[in-house]
Structure 1
C-alpha cells in the first residue's frame, strides 16, 4: 500500500505569457506547466491546489501550492528537479513537507497583493510594459490613501466584484491598504482574508480615478455603499498585479516570501530594485 505525503511549494512566476493560473483547454496556464514539471519528478499524475488563482497576465512572487505524492524525494531533489523541468518564467522558491490537513487555499489566513503603476507624464516603459501598469496623469497618492480608508475592515465588495465571480458571498475583510510613491512608481499594497474576482484591480481602477482628480475622495465610500459594479471604474490592467505573499497559521511554519508584512514599507524599494531595475 502506497503512503502519501503532502508537500507545499512556494512559486514565483511571470504571468505575461499565461492565461492565468487555472488549467484550461488549449491555452497555456501556470497550473498546467507546474503540474507537468512535478509529474516528471514524482513519476505519477499530480493535482496541485493553489492559495489564489491569478488571472491572465497577473504575476506572483509568493504563490503557495500543495499536492499529495507517494514519491520519496529529498527537498533538494524536488527543488532542483522541478525547476529543471519548468519554463524560465516559473520557478519553485522553496519546498516543505506539511501536515496532511494543510490546504494551500483553505488554511490561509490572508493574502497580500501589490499593484505597481509606472506614473510618468512623458512616456511608458518598453521593457516593463507587462510588469506594471502605465498611467501618464499624475496620481495624488495622499488623496488615494484617504479615499481608501473606508475600504478597511469587513464589507460587501459587490461594487468591486467581477460580474463572472463564482464566489457565493461578496463579504471580505481588508486588513491593510497602503498607497505610496517611490519616485515615478505608485505602489498599492492590499492585504485581505481573501478576494472576490478582480477585487484588487477594480479597487485600483477606482482609486486611480480619485488620484487623477477625475473623482472626489468621497466617491470610493459611495461606491462601497452602492453595491453596484456598473458605477465603479474600469478594471485596472493585469500587468501591474502581483500576488506577494500568503499568511498561514504559525504551526505550519510556511517560509516567508520577500514580504511577510505590509507594514514593512521600507521594503518597497527593495522590491523595485529586485524586480524593476
Structure 2
C-alpha cells in the first residue's frame, strides 16, 4: 500500500454494554468506540479498512479478538511506540487494545484466520453465579454432568453442515469444520466449553451450547445434538444460550507470514459475502 501500513490490533472487551462488534447507527458498538479513538489519534480521514476476525454479537465478550486497520506510514512511525498507552487513556474501561503491531499488507484479520476459539462458562451451583462474575457466567438451574456434556460434544466435532444451529444468511454457507469441542469443570466448579472451528455462522456457538446443556442435565440423550445435523434449516428445538456466557479467546493465523495471502484466498473461495460473525 503506497504510503500506508497495515496494523494488527489485539483487542479485549466486556460485551455487556455493547450492541456487538459491528458499527450500527445510534448504537454503542466495539468497532464504533475503537474507530472513534483511532480517529482522535490519527484523524478521521487517515484510518481505513477496520476489519475484524469475528463479528461478535451483542453481549458476547472477547479476550483474544483481532482486527486490522490501515494507517499512514509516517503517522504510524511517529506513534507506534505509544499507541497502546494512548488508547488506554481514550477508550472506556470495557474495551482495551492489548497490542498493536505492523504486519504485511496481505495480512487480513478475517480471511487469513485459520481458526476462532471460544469458551462458554456455566455454573450449576445451587446459589447461582458469584456476583462479581455474573456478566461472564450463565447460571443453569439443574445439575450438569460432565460426562454427558462431553458425550454430546463428541458427536459435533468434524466437518458438517450446521444449518440446524445457524441463522442462515443469503449466499452464505453453513458448512463448518469444528476442530475442538469439549467441556471441563474447573476447580471452582465452573463448567467451561471450548469450541474451535475454522469459522462460525451467526449464533452457532451459543446454539451448540444450548443443545449440549439439555443433554448435560439429562433431558435429552447424548446423540440428540449430532442427530440435528441432518436438518437443512435451523431447528426450532434448539434454544440459543444467552450471550453473556460466551467469550472469544483466540484467533489463529499461519505461523509463516508468507502464508497469509494463500490462506486468505482459500477462505474467500469458501466464504461468500456477506461477512459471517464469529
Normalised to the residue count of structure 2, the TM-score between the two structures is 0.86
Distance 1:139 1:65 in 2: 36
Q: 1:208 to 1:167 in 2, by over 3 A?
A: farther
Q: Residue 196 of structure 2 is aligned with which of 191, 194, 201?
A: 191
Pair 1:77 & 2:82 matched: yes
Alpha-carbon distance in 2 for matches of 1:239, 1:146: 24
In 2, the alpha carbon distance for the partners of 1:9 and 1:205 equals 31
Answer yes or no: is the 8 Å Cα contact 1:159–1:232 preserved in 2.
no
Give the paired residue count.
252
Q: Deviations over 1:172-192 (max 9, x none)?
A: 000111101114211000110
Matches within 5 A, 1:140-219: 140-163=145-168, 165=169, 168-182=172-186, 183-219=188-224
Q: CA deviation at 1:147?
A: 1.5
Q: Residue 247 of structure 1: which of 252, 259, 267 is its match?
A: 252
Pick closer, same or farther for the CA change 1:63–1:97 going to 2, 3 Å.
Answer: same
1:161-213 Cα deviation digits (max 9, x unpaired): 025x4561110000111101114211000110000100000000000010010
Match runs of 1:38-57 below 5 Å = 38-45=38-45, 46-47=47-48, 48-57=50-59
In 1, are the aligned partners of 2:119 and 2:193 still within 8 Å (CA)? yes
Map of 1:274 onto structure 2: none
RMSD, aligned α-carbons? 1.8
* Partner residue, 1:121: 126
Instruction: Give 1:36 deviation, angstroms.
Output: 0.6
CA distance in 1, matches of 2:88, 2:246: 24
- Residue 134 of structure 1 is aligned with which of 129, 134, 139? 139
- Normalization by structure 1: what TM-score? 0.86
Partner of 2:64: 62
User: Quick one: distance in 1 between partners of 2:3 and 2:238?
Assistant: 51
* Deviation at residue 110 of structure 1 after TM alignment: 0.5
Q: CA separation in 1, counterparts of 2:52 and 2:95?
A: 14
Does the 8 Å contact 1:51/1:105 carry over to 2? Answer: yes
Following the alignment from structure 1 to structure 2, what is the Cα–Cα distance between the partners of residues 31 and 248? 21
Per-residue deviation at 1:60? 0.3
For residues 135 and 172 of structure 1, the distance between their equivalents in structure 2, rounded to whole angstroms, comes to 28
Distance in 2, matches of 1:2 and 1:146, equals 53
- SS in structure 2 opposite 1:250? coil
| DSSP 3-state at the match of 2:82 | helix
For structure 1, the residue ranges without an aligned partner over 5 or more in a row are: 254-277
* Bigger shift: residues 133-142 or 51-60: 133-142
Point out where structure 2 has 5 or more consecutive residues left out of the alignment.
259-278
3-state DSSP of counterpart to 2:9: strand
CA–CA distance in 2 between the matches of 1:233 and 1:14?
A: 26
Could you list the runs of 4 or more consecutive aligned residues of structure 1 that deviate by over 4 angstroms after TM superposition? none
